[in-house]
Structure 1
């Protein structure tokens, strides 16, 4: 897929918009921790999180708190995201503030306060928001809040009502499909979260119209509660 300068900007803006720009869920302390991989049972959050049942409605602020609490204490996890047909992979180690996001269009690695980026045609380099390369500039600007790349951050600060519309399975666990509409930067975004009974969000789909372009972002966690191998590229 060929992506021009305008397309790169829209794609990156849409990815950040649709995956959430609020403070990352990992910023909140947790009193419980999912024990091991997603195939293993995890303890439910200790706050007053409602039991999930098909047909029930859950308040978005309560959903946000419950997901953030459930996902805040983990060794690490990996995820796959698709934006406008372009697939990226990501790894996260919250305790180390380490994030790696790799895609055919542009990639980013952050280790604490150190951030490196690269486009499809460049080598790894230190983040530079003023770069003449639109991909480097866009990725560097995004790096100002790298938590926006974290799938767990998609649930932070959501509001409105979410309805349990069905069930499915992810990583060997039963998940509940919670559907609703949130507003991000003035744009209505239709969201479906796939959440375990203990509120770990293992997947989400978000769709919206950005600058006249219909955009869908699909995210799924491929490995949960496993420390990821993230190293500096330079």
Structure 2
């Protein structure tokens, strides 16, 4: 896949549009948590979050709020995301608002308000969306909104109605499969969420069409409630 400044922006826009979950908080968690995600029990959602049963419907805003609450006290998590055929690995550390991406075109690290990028042929540098290097410029665009693809952020903007259409398994945990159509940034997106009974998202799929092109993004949590070591590269 040929990736230039414009191409990188399209990939980023698709990722932001089609990945979905809610917002992490800075609340610390007990360091004794196991490194095996399947061994962890998630915090139960608030009492006003509806019980998930097959055939039940959930309002999108309610779903997003429950996801947000369920994922706020994680030590960290890692994910694998595929956008327009490009695979990206990501790490999220809620305790210091840190995100790290690794893509075929380069890498991104964001810690709070600080952003760094590294193309496949360069060293780490401070993000610069106006760089004359199109890859650095594209990565810098991605860095500016990397938090928006956090599977603990995007669901905060959910709308529409979702239906529990089945059950499955992720990371050794039972999950409910919720499907629905959401309006995001004026675009209709068909969404599928795989969530535990207490609303922790372990996978999402989004599909839409833009300018006559079908766009699909998948996101799969590969480590849940495991601290991610994300440090400043400079």
So what's the TM-score if we normalise by structure 2? 0.89
Measure the CA separation in 2 of the matches of 1:106 and 1:14: 18
| Aligned-pair CA distance for 1:27 | 4.8
Partner of 2:116: 116
Contact 2:27 2:95 in 1 (8 A): no
Q: Report the alpha carbon displacement of residue 104 of structure 1 after superposing the two structures with TM.
A: 0.4
Contact 1:29 1:72 in 2 (8 A): yes
Query: Relative to 1, partners in 2 of residues 1:178 and 1:187: Cα closer, same or farther, differing over 3 Å?
Result: same
Instruction: Name which of structure 1's ranges 143-152 and 153-162 shifts more when overlaid on structure 2.
Output: 143-152
| 2:86 equivalent to 1:86 | yes
Q: Matched residues in 2 for 1:72 and 1:38: separation?
A: 18
Do the aligned partners of 1:19 and 1:153 also contact (CA within 8 Å) in 2? no
Q: Distance in 2 between matches of 1:28 and 1:115?
A: 19
How many residues align structurally? 228
Q: 129-138 or 179-188, which moves further after superposition?
A: 129-138
**Structure-1 separation of matches of 2:123 and 2:149:** 21
Aligned-residue offset at 1:28: 8.8
1:51 aligned partner: 51
- Kindly report the root-mean-square deviation, in angstroms, between the aligned alpha carbons of the 2 structures: 2.1
Q: Indicate the residue corresponding to 1:188 in structure 2.
A: 188
Cα distance change on mapping 1:210 and 1:132 into 2, 3 Å: farther
Once the two structures are superposed, what CA deviation does each residue of 1:138-177 show, in whole Å capped at 9, x if it has no partner?
3323333332131221311201100001111000000001
Q: Structure 2: which 5+ residue stretches go unaligned?
A: none
Aligned to 1:18: 18
The answer as to whether partners of 1:9 and 1:134 remain within 8 angstroms in 2 is no
The ranges of structure 1 where at least 4 consecutive aligned residues each deviate by more than 4 angstroms after the TM superposition are: 27-30
Q: In the alignment, is the contact (CA less than 8 A) between 1:39 and 1:171 conserved in 2?
A: no
CA distance in 2, matches of 1:223, 1:28: 18
| 1:120–1:214 Cα change, 3 Å | farther
Q: Secondary structure at the residue paired with 1:25?
A: coil
Are residues 47 and 165 of structure 1, via their aligned partners in 2, closer, same or farther at CA, if it must alter by over 3 Å? same
Offset at 1:186?
A: 1.1
Q: Is the 8 A contact 1:205 1:217 kept in 2?
A: yes
> 2-side partners of 1:204 and 1:232: how far apart?
29
Q: Is the 8 A contact 1:84 1:216 kept in 2?
A: yes
Query: Does structure 2 conserve the Cα–Cα contact (< 8 Å) formed by 1:83 and 1:216?
Result: yes
Shift of 1:4: 4.6
How far apart are 1:29 and its partner, in Å?
7.6
1:26 positional shift: 1.4
Q: Using structure 1 for the length normalisation, give the TM-score.
A: 0.89
> Which residue number corresponds to residue 136 of structure 2?
136
Partner secondary structure for residue 192 of structure 2: strand
1:214 aligns with 2:211: no
